[in-house]
Amino acid sequence: MLLVQEHLIKLGGVKLSGQMKSIDISEVATIENIEDDKGKTKANQPTGYEAAKISIEFILEDSKKMTQIEQISAMQRLFKPYKQKKAKLLKVVNEDCAARGISKVYFEKLGTKNEVAESERTATLELLAPTIAGIKLKPSKQAKAIKKQIKKTFGKSKKKKSKSPSAKKRSTAAAKKKAKKLIK
């Protein structure tokens, strides 16, 4: 069998052994349906994104360095080391993950399958990229200085007294005086 060296993956600083058969990375947007009282969908409202899921399938074969069982044990130690209570964030190095901007993942699931007829084992790893919180930009000193300069140059904006139509009444006292003079 041909071993492809191009598709390598490092997880938690450990190069995973075996031949990578496939890697599947999927990301999903969450969109809620807004319904009216009768239950009909009126509109769709995007609410965000779910965490990226990565599924990697390996073909495990005996090599000079490790047997199939040793390869599975190495993956198991990455998945759940001794006395570990919850999943840890692991650094991932792979060209497909890097293209998607994924650098750290949680090891979510490890599955192995022994195909007796073909005398080979496969391992399936499922990884979950953590959702990234929004980033708030902090203005630089230069941006603050420019903002101050603009305020000094143009001053504060002058607000009109009122935008109400009733405030736009004109004074009718002068017109009344003229009207009274004409009548006399």
The CATH number linked to 63 is 2.40.30
User: What is the token pair recorded at 70?
Assistant: 């040793």
Token pair 């990226």 is found at: 52
pLDDT (0 to 100) of residue 156:
61
pLDDT (0 to 100) of residue 2:
44
Q: Is residue 85 domain-resident?
A: yes
Q: Is residue 163 domain-resident?
A: no
pLDDT (0 to 100) of residue 55:
92
pLDDT of 172 strictly over 80 = no
pTM for the whole structure: 0.61
Q: Is residue 5 domain-resident?
A: no
pLDDT of 1 strictly over 60 = no
pLDDT (0 to 100) of residue 132:
61
Q: Residue 56 is part of which domain span?
A: 10-128
Q: Is residue 44 domain-resident?
A: yes
Q: Is residue 47 domain-resident?
A: yes
With cut-offs at 50, 70 and 90, classify the pLDDT of residue 144: confident
Closest CA to 9 of 137, 116, 134, 105: 105
Task: State how many domains the chain has.
Answer: 1
Q: Is residue 150 domain-resident?
A: no
pLDDT (0 to 100) of residue 53:
92
Question: Strand 104-115 and strand 89-93: pairing?
Answer: antiparallel
Q: Is residue 1 domain-resident?
A: no
